Structure 1
Amino acid sequence: MRTLAGTTRIELVIKRSRFVAHASRVEDLAGTLAFYESVADPDASHNCWAWKLGQQYRFNDDGEPSGTAGKPIYSAIDGKGLDQAMVVVTRYFGGVKLGAGGLVRAYAGSAARCIDQAAIEEIEPRLDCVIRVGFGWTGQVYAALDACGARKTGDRYSDDGIEITADIGVAAFETLKSLLRDTTRGEAVVRRAS
């Protein structure tokens, strides 16, 4: 997967309307809201946006005619093969109406140019996993998670042990299973989350 390495900003003037596009990597829903709030201008005519996080995506026309802003921005993100990415295009109306086709071209073009100017980085696909183990092995499980670059996302305790959920790179998942099988003498049960 590919994503944006940082935040990028470009500005275009199309028929006297000023379009300011900001693109950035976002990692979760809270990140999309924070990025939007950091770049949107409440005094602008429109702050249209789109984001993609894995299989989830959203876009918004912010008062422009339906389908003329948010969806073209999303198409630029998706067309570049990006994930964990958000683009906000702010329009300052310049007095000349662009028409539906003109708006689509302006928003899609602004988003695409912004993405083209951004640094792109590869990100490793990840998956959620569940580890069930007795209490005596908890330290070894946390050490194995750290060694494999996994992030603990939750835990649940029961009378006979703990169930730990984690986010791990797809390539490291088999390594984690093997490591835990060896260090817990086969007592840890490791599986993909359903």
Structure 2
Amino acid sequence: MPFTLVGPCEYREEIRKSRFITLAAPISSAADAQAFLEQNSDLNATHNCWAWKLTDQYRSSDDGEPGGTAGRPILAAIEAQEFDQVVVLVIRWYGGIQLGTGGLARAYGGGANKCLQQADRVALVNRVPLSFDCSFSELALVKLRLAELNGLVAHESFTANGVELQISLGPEHVALLQRQLADLSRGRIVLQRSSVD
């Protein structure tokens, strides 16, 4: 089961006089990853190496280090710990001692590994977007049923006739929730698949 980070995390270490700071954060898009890298890269550092993974998309950069010694080891650390929807940036200040290609790969991959190992993680649950309307009086029971099935309310808007809800729910629970809501509303509430923005 894939995991993502609960929030940003950081790990610092010194290896043979070079200083490394590893920063990681959850992302939901490639634009999120790019924004994180732009906000956190240190232009005064020797190298800002990074990798990110978002389902089947991934990118990495060695930022001037020898090819394959930084970005790929960082990405390998993300994948080895079954993370997804995560960006990792490792910032290096060169300390005057060469680490060699193996030493660089160990430093970048190791920093990413240690940062992710100590971070709070949450399992990524596959959910489908759904929408429906309910009355004001049904809202509390609807939310209770949804919470029991580990569903999320993505958006709710109040209208003159009741409440319009957009939710996300594990595909294995859709039929059960439809039955529960039909029972609750005497067949009036019907779940509909929503398109994702």
TM-score (norm 2): 0.71
Aligned partners of 2:186 and 2:69: how far apart in 1? 56
| 1:123 matched residue in structure 2 | 123
Secondary structure of the residue aligned to 2:103 is helix
| 1:105 matched residue in structure 2 | 106
Structure 1 residue 45: deviation in Å? Answer: 1.3
Structure 1 residue 28: deviation in Å? Answer: 2.4
Q: Which one-letter code corresponds to 1:59 in the other structure?
A: S
Matched, 1:14 2:29: no
Change in 2 beyond 3 A, CA 1:62/1:179: farther
| 1:157 matched residue in structure 2 | none
Structure 1 residue 89: deviation in Å? Answer: 0.2
Work out the number of aligned pairs and report it. 180
Structure 1 residue 3: deviation in Å? Answer: 2.1
Identical columns (%): 37
Structure 2 residue ranges without an equivalent (≥5): 156-164
Aligned partners of 1:5 and 1:189: how far apart in 2? 30
Q: Pairwise mapping of residues 28-177 of structure 1 onto structure 2 (< 5 A)?
A: 28-119=29-120, 121-129=121-129, 138=133, 148=146, 149-150=151-152, 167-177=168-178
Aligned partners of 2:191 and 2:4: how far apart in 1? 33
Aligned partners of 1:129 and 1:26: how far apart in 2? 19
Structure 1 residue 6: deviation in Å? Answer: 2.2
Structure 1 residue 173: deviation in Å? Answer: 2.9
Query: Does structure 1 retain, via aligned residues, the 8 Å contact 2:130–2:169?
Result: no
Instruction: Identify which range, 177-186 or 71-80, moves more after superposition.
Output: 177-186
Structure 1 residue ranges without an equivalent (≥5): 154-163
Query: Does structure 1 retain, via aligned residues, the 8 Å contact 2:22–2:115?
Result: yes
| 1:161 matched residue in structure 2 | none
Matched, 1:24 2:25: yes
Structure 1 residue 106: deviation in Å? Answer: 0.8
Q: Which one-letter code corresponds to 1:39 in the other structure?
A: N
Structure 1 residue 9: deviation in Å? Answer: 1.4
Structure 1 residue 21: deviation in Å? Answer: 0.5
Secondary structure of the residue aligned to 1:126 is coil
Aligned partners of 2:142 and 2:126: how far apart in 1? 14
Change in 2 beyond 3 A, CA 1:192/1:112: same
Structure 1 residue 57: deviation in Å? Answer: 2.0
